[in-house]
Structures are given as C-alpha cells and as structure tokens.
Amino acid sequence: MTTDELDDVARRVASRLGRAALWPELLTAAQVASRFGVARSWVYAHAHELGAIRLGNGPRPRLRFDPAIVEQVLNPRPLAAAPAAELLPIRDGRRRVGDEERRPRP
C-alpha cells in the first residue's frame, strides 16, 4: 500500500468513528436498571430525571437512555472544594504582655 492509500483509509476510518461518537449507544430501561443497580420500575418512575428519550408518539412510547446522562444523575461528582484557608490560632481571650498575664477590659 502506498502512503496515499493509507491516508485515504485513515480518513475513512476517522470519518466513521466520528459519526459513531455523535450517537452514543442508548440503553433500555432494563439495561439502566441492571447497570446501576436499581429496579426497572424505578427507572420508569424517574425517566424524566434520567433524561429519557421517547421513541414514538403513542401513549406508551419506548424509552431509551444516554448512559452518560444517567451516570451523571445517579453518581454526581462532588464539587471541587475551595482551597482551605490557613487557620489562625485559637486564643482564650487573654493577652500576654511581657511575662505578665492580663485579662481584657470589659
């Protein structure tokens, strides 16, 4: 194979992979229940929160779920904590002046 032929094959593969990445594999309610350890009835009850995609317009359309959205809803990442500020020492309300100890004035 020549370099031009290899480049052509690489472009075709990249093109097909790019299209596949645009449409993630969608899960059924049973697959969501199995993967995330919840009941299938719970998945249906919380379909809206889980970002369900309705296939069809009938009274009971089939539901599909994007695994990335379900993961985000069921296993949210904790927010990054702000860096801790340096703490000041705790004082008992008395100040030391030299070696002599004095109580603060009221």
Say which range, 6-10, 20-24, 79-83, has the weakest mean pLDDT. Answer: 20-24
Would you say residue 17 lies in a domain? no
Number of domains in the chain: 1
Asked if residues 33 and 42 have their Cβ atoms less than 8 Å apart, the reply is yes
In whole numbers, what is the pLDDT of the chain averaged over residues? 80
Is 105 among the domain residues?
no
72 within some domain: yes
Contact, 51 vs 70, CB < 8 A? yes
CA distances from 101 to 80, 93, 95 (A): 44, 11, 6
Question: What is the model's pLDDT at position 19?
Answer: 56
CATH of the domain at 29: 1.10.1660.10
Q: Can you give the residue range of the structural domain that contains 72?
A: 25-77
User: Could you tell me if residue 84 is inside a domain?
Assistant: no
How large a percentage of the chain has pLDDT more than 70? 74
Least confident of 19-33, 57-71, 90-104: 90-104
Q: Is residue 35 part of a domain?
A: yes
Chain centroid to CA 11: how far? 32
Q: Kindly state whether residue 100 falls inside one of the protein's structural domains.
A: no
* Range with the poorest average pLDDT among 20-24, 62-66, 86-90: 20-24
**Overall average pLDDT of the 1-14 stretch:** 79
